[in-house]
Structure 1
Amino acid sequence: MKLAVYSAQPYDRRFLEEARSAMSGVETVYFSDRLELDTVPLAQGCGAVCVFVNDKLDAPVLEALHALGVRAVLLRCAGFNNLDIAAGMRLGMFMARVPAYAPEAVAEHALALVMTLNRRTHRAYARVREGNFALDGLLGMTLHGKTVGIVGAGQIGAAAARIFHGMGCKVLVSDPAPASQLDGLVERVSLDELLTRSDIVSLHCPLMDATRHMINAASLATMKRGAMLVNTSRGGLIDTAAVIDALKCGQLGALAIDVYEQESNLFFHDHSSDIIADDVFQRLMTFPNVLVTGHQGFFTIEAMREIATVTFANLACYLQGARCPNALGASA
């Protein structure tokens, strides 16, 4: 079996090869290119592809892959909003994901974003490097006693809730089916109530039709004035233009994002010598109360190792015709 790995970075190769060494009969080929219709031919001769969050897996791409002989799609991520499951089912393709890989990694990154933006440690670092020890402009708030709203209480959201609870915050959770292990630690409320009461709102829900642009002009208007918004889930949860308007008028006090709705042409690559043509993103970067990281919330040794291990376990299930607990669609 030959496996084509798209959107491959050096760190992907390191951990995937480590996991592959425990499996016989599998050859991997790596491509830095994102999977889209134009790059499908790279998978010629491969029976499976391994993809990441910004690879395109719509019906035309899946059909083109199937025509090449690809029969398995392995997502090395939890989210699958970029995959047309119905098309994959129609083609009889095996599809599987990595539903949970060190959820604490993303939750801890959300906390890091909050702490950095709140206490301006990124600005303080730059100042001190230049010999400037003035404190003006670095005033933050004490998180202990503040209200943190967690939108989506899956494994990552639950981990974030536990972290903020441990810091002495009052934690509100909005989720149709919140984790039972949070009983006694959080208050379950509607999304509207969460937005109204929270000093910090952290998004941890999947991107789907029902959640796309859930943070928009109307929902931003209901938030506590000056609140902080954090997104480490999927960029499409936020209407970026509406967020910019809310930042400009002071309705939104601060924004920390590890994801961006148009990130596919930006993130995971070095554009330091390029002119970034995305005017919305460039406008966002002009705000001193905005902090952006390039989709690194998952990026820990433990998470990368888990992603690689589960990805090859999913492939083993496909090759052996065994039931796969991480399968999607008809493969489940």
Structure 2
Amino acid sequence: MSTSGSSPQRPISKKGPFRVLLLENIHVSAQEMLSAEGLSVERLSAALKPEELAERLQGVHLLGIRSKTTIPPSVLAKAKDLLAIGAFCIGTNQVDLPAANQHGVPVFNAPFSNTRSVAEMVLAEVVVLTRQLFDRSREVHTGQWRKVATGSHEVRGKTLGIIGYGHIGSQLGVLAESLGMRVLYYDVMTRLPLGNSRPVATLAELLGQSDFVTLHVPATPSTHMMMGAEQLAQMKPGACLINASRGTVVDISALAQALRSKHLSGAAVDVYPEEPEGNSDGFVTELQGLSNVVLTPHIGGSTEEAQASIGKEVATSLLKFFKSGATTGAVNFPNVENPLIPGTHRILNVHRNTPGVLRDINRIVSDLNANIHAQVLSTDSNIGYLVMDLDQDVSQQVCEAIASLSTDIKTRIVS
């Protein structure tokens, strides 16, 4: 790797002295995979504040985080050695993705590995809410015996409304149907329904027909507070709301009011607009103390199976990028994946996407009489990502010349 005007590293061996920093108690499966490839891995149990993280990233090539670590542009500007970031979770909003792109740092996540865990928890909460199990359990714990059927129902025949029919939402729909539920979904993208799930045209239509509404959307400007007082009022009287997606998509104050007024009969919330940084910190929300409200500490994907799978999924993406430059699955980077060619060195170059860059690079190759075996260039509006395989005897000279171009962001060699 190099930045503009500096010399790139020597050809990278998978057994080279390269460093990885894993934060937030990422599953040991990731550490085992990365260590097995000869990387030096440091694994910490907590998140780091941006100022401390910027210092710890000096000399670090791969970074692994979960949802509590934020990576603003100021951290990326100081992380000169950083090659890639792995978000060991679904969401990537904790990383400034445009800034990472412009610093030549692809960001990988785990869009598949915890879908089952989240779907199972949401389905369990549907049963818990309709049977008011948490209230009955709390009463027995305090010595009360309230054997009542009023307000307690079966889920069979009820309607589950899913907002966001992606990996989690679609799997949840299949599970809900197995309990005899009717499944509706609303998504801003056209999605193929699984089983007997049925799409609806508007959010209001879904809200008005559903006995349970569950959110599975990313944190974006369009989803910010998408469930406010107006939308909650559109829900069926006596319905329940479940949010295991992002804390910013539900207006907590409006939800608390809808529960106090008995317009909604219950809610289950796993994510919040503001969450503690660690397990030892206190937590306060307006939803505390309300009847038939299930509150959990952002544990939707926190099963041992999911965390082990996430560790392997993201570690695999980081290793593929480290060893071959593959960016398939990166959320902020042109996606390129080419097999390595035996007997060659591979140059990986990230540059500003301005006219004439490929011309300048090809001139360098021509002047050094280098033989290119394969070359792929993929671009977005800000950067170009070049993957070039060429003869080993000239690879270092070509790499250094490319790194000296004024348009260079990062350049390195893999072998």
TM class by shorter chain equals 0.7 to 0.9
1:235 aligns with 2:253: no
1:30 aligns with 2:43: yes
Query: Which structure shows the bigger proportion of residues in strand conformation?
Result: 2
C-alpha RMSD of matched pairs (Å): 2.1
Instruction: State the one-letter code of the partner of 2:313.
Output: V
SS of the counterpart of 1:113? Answer: helix
**TM-fit CA distance, 1:89:** 1.0
- The answer for the alignment partner of 1:298 in structure 2 is 301
With over 3 angstroms needed to count, the CA separation of the structure-2 counterparts of 1:108 and 1:88, relative to structure 1, is same
SS of the counterpart of 2:173? Answer: helix
Aligned residue among 52, 65, 87 for 2:66 = 52
SS of the counterpart of 2:267? Answer: strand
With over 3 angstroms needed to count, the CA separation of the structure-2 counterparts of 1:62 and 1:124, relative to structure 1, is same
Instruction: State the one-letter code of the partner of 2:333.
Output: A
- The answer for the alignment partner of 1:17 in structure 2 is 31
- The answer for the alignment partner of 2:22 in structure 1 is 5
- The answer for the alignment partner of 2:96 in structure 1 is 84
- The answer for the alignment partner of 2:288 in structure 1 is 285
1:319 aligns with 2:322: yes
SS of the counterpart of 2:172? Answer: helix
Matches of 1:96 and 1:116, distance apart in 2: 35
- The answer for the alignment partner of 2:331 in structure 1 is 328
| 1:1-332 matched pairs, under 5 angstroms | 1-8=18-25, 12-21=26-35, 23-40=36-53, 41-64=55-78, 66-67=79-80, 69-129=81-141, 132-136=144-148, 139-182=151-194, 184-263=196-275, 265=276, 269-271=279-281, 274=282, 276=283, 278=284, 281=285, 283-332=286-335
Is contact 1:124-1:138 (8 Å) kept? no
Q: Deviations over 1:21-49 (max 9, x none)?
A: 5x322122122332432221223331121
Is contact 1:95-1:331 (8 Å) kept? no
Instruction: State the one-letter code of the partner of 1:97.
Output: N
Unaligned runs of 5+ in 1: none
**TM-fit CA distance, 1:208:** 0.7
SS of the counterpart of 1:299? Answer: coil
Q: Deviations over 1:303-325 (max 9, x none)?
A: 11211111211111221233232
Q: What TM-score comes out, normalization by structure 1 length?
A: 0.88
Unaligned runs of 5+ in 2: 1-17, 336-415
Matches of 1:119 and 1:244, distance apart in 2: 20
With over 3 angstroms needed to count, the CA separation of the structure-2 counterparts of 1:126 and 1:242, relative to structure 1, is closer
Q: What TM-score comes out, normalization by structure 2 length?
A: 0.71
**TM-fit CA distance, 1:220:** 1.1
Matches of 1:92 and 1:52, distance apart in 2: 21
With over 3 angstroms needed to count, the CA separation of the structure-2 counterparts of 1:183 and 1:176, relative to structure 1, is farther
With over 3 angstroms needed to count, the CA separation of the structure-2 counterparts of 1:112 and 1:19, relative to structure 1, is farther
With over 3 angstroms needed to count, the CA separation of the structure-2 counterparts of 1:285 and 1:137, relative to structure 1, is farther
Is contact 1:35-1:57 (8 Å) kept? no
Matches of 1:47 and 1:331, distance apart in 2: 20
Percent identical among aligned pairs is: 27
Q: Determine which structure has more spread, i.e. the larger CA radius of gyration.
A: 2
**TM-fit CA distance, 1:234:** 0.9
Instruction: State the one-letter code of the partner of 1:27.
Output: S
Is contact 2:27-2:311 (8 Å) kept? no
Matches of 1:42 and 1:324, distance apart in 2: 25
Q: Deviations over 1:191-232 (max 9, x none)?
A: 110011111000011111111110011111211122100011
Matches of 1:131 and 1:253, distance apart in 2: 24
Q: Deviations over 1:225-246 (max 9, x none)?
A: 2210001111111111221222
Instruction: State the one-letter code of the partner of 1:2.
Output: R
